[in-house]
Amino acid sequence: MRYGVMPRLMWAVFRDSFTRELPRLTDTPAEPLMEKAHRRYREILAPIPEFERGDRFLVNILSASMLAAVLLELPKRPPVAAVADYYHHAMTDNAVMKRFLKRNSYTAKAQAKLARQARDSVDRSAANPYTWCFTYEPGPDLTSYTANFTACGILHLLGTLRLGEYVPAMCTYDYEMAQQSGTQFTREYTLAGGGPCCDCHYQKRG
């Protein structure tokens, strides 16, 4: 993946919050560590194929690459719970992310787009193991839907980087995003936990 507009923008948007929250993981001076992590981030992105235009999961793989870059520059590996805590705060305590989470997924237009993206994900994931494959199931009305994920780019990325034990730390962030966006989120299985899929159920609160 070229270090183009979106990778650069992602780093610029989240660099401050990823730096600010580093004491949750390490007492290593934050600024020098983040300088190394920035170089590592570019290295991580280099072998990843370019994402197709309209692939909704580009931001996901970029945020996972940022986290991986930080983890790989730490002097020792932190516990999974500490990484989950770090990632939650670094992502959510960010003005851009807070605005992003206010988007409304419970409209006919939004769900038609989601259904189209689910259909496209089959071919995209076959060509690019760093993206996601999922199906979309509408609920009885626009206040709910289900997405079943059978391939996960984060699982592939962190496994390739030998950071697979931290995938569950990122999985837990789904609940935080749902909370912030006015959604009740539930699931029984995760691919990271050895399940057949990630069965993600979304219900609008209120």
Would the pLDDT of 105 be above 90?
no
Task: Give the strand order in the sheet containing 144-151.
Answer: 133-138, 144-151, 198-204, 183-186
Longest dimension (CA), the chain: 52
Cα distance between residue 174 and residue 152, in whole Å: 13
- Which residue shows structure tokens 């206010």? 102
The predicted pLDDT at position 132 comes to: 97
Q: What per-residue string of b and e applies to 123-140 under the rule 16 or more CB within 10 Å gives b? A: ebbeebbbbbbbebeeee
Domain segments of the chain as ranges: 5-100, 108-163+170-204
Angle 92-97-101 from CA coordinates, rounded to 5°:
95
The predicted pLDDT at position 21 comes to: 97
Tokens describing residue 50:
């370019």
- Stretch 147-158: mean pLDDT: 97
Cα distance between residue 17 and residue 91, in whole Å: 7
Q: Is 36 helix (H, G, I), strand (E, B) or coil?
A: helix
Type of residue at 175? Y
Would the pLDDT of 100 be above 90?
no
Type of residue at 57? F
Would the pLDDT of 181 be above 90?
no
Would the pLDDT of 131 be above 90?
yes
pLDDT digits (tens, 9 = 90+) for 12-27: 999 999 999 999 999 9
From the list 51, 66, 206, the residue with the least C-alpha distance to 124 is 51
From the list 145, 146, 122, the residue with the least C-alpha distance to 55 is 122
- Residues contacting 8, CB < 8 A, separation 6+: none
The predicted pLDDT at position 99 comes to: 78
Confidence of residue 85 (pLDDT cuts 50, 70, 90): very high
